[in-house]
Structure formats: structure tokens, C-alpha cells
Amino acid sequence: MEYLEYPDAAKAWVYQSNKHFDKDELDYLKVQLDDFVSDWESHGQLLKATTEVFYDLFVVFFVDEKGDNMCGRAQDASVNLMKRLEEELEVTFLDRMVQSYKKGEEVKVVRMADYEALLDSKEIDENTIVYNNMITTKGDFENHWEVPMKNSWHNQLIPLK
């Protein structure tokens, strides 16, 4: 995984799909992402960037800015790509109310509003692994993306029982 070579301060953006991708969708997605990052520019310079798809569900962009902040146009280009892929793959990537948790080795997709019922039914608890898709750096991705619910921002929104 190329992103592992990036510094901890490298920028990271997580886009979560509302469903897992099948093999054909995943193959298509990877081609589109690779094509995009191979030409992705900021201030007229190619960015050192890569993408990874985790659990056939999360698209993560990593950018090593090398001390030069990415321009807004470059950031907008990635959002526009994700909007286009939403239409082509008939998924959502930009709905922050779509969340996930880990049950065994499986990552389950839910809506934020479902967490209370999942807690009530004991499907999840404070030790359930959830995904902090709001992380902004590679270091945060490696250390704070997959965390127990009690240590996540989810804990602020949902009182644990």
C-alpha cells in the first residue's frame, strides 16, 4: 500500500459508500481513482497522491503536500469525482449520516439514526469498533480511524447505555 510511505502529516479524506462494492464495481472504481490521481494537480503541479479502497466500502485519498497547501480547485476536483462516481455506481459517498461499525470481521453499514436502536438491542456497545471518517491526516487514519465507540466522536452524539 503506497500510502504507508507517506508522512503522518499527509492529508487524508475518507469517503464511505452506502453499500459494499462487488468485484466489477470495485475494479471500475479502482481504475477511475487511479486515473484521477495520476493527473491530479494543484497550483499547476502534479500532486503526490494515492487512493485505497478499504473493506470494499471506504475510498481514502492520501496527499503528501510537501509543505505546499493544496489549492481549493484541487480539493473540489476530488469532490466532483466522487459525485460523478456516486451517479455511475448508484451509491452515496457524500452523505455523512451513513456510518459503519465492525461486527467480527464484517463491516456493517448503517444510518447514524440507527445507532440508538443498535445500542438498545445490544447489537453494538461502547467497545464496538466504529469508523471516524472525519480524520484529516494519514497519522489520524492509522491511529484514530477504527476506534471503539467509547473513544469516538459517536460517543458525543449517542449516550452509551
pLDDT in tens, 115-159: 888 988 999 988 999 999 999 999 999 999 999 998 888 777 665
The model carries a pTM of 0.91
- Cα of first residue to Cα of last residue in the chain, in angstroms, is 38
Q: For residue 66, what is its C-alpha cell?
A: 510537501
Mean per-residue pLDDT for 88-100?
94
Kindly list the domain boundaries of the chain, sorted by start residue. Answer: 2-89, 98-132+146-157
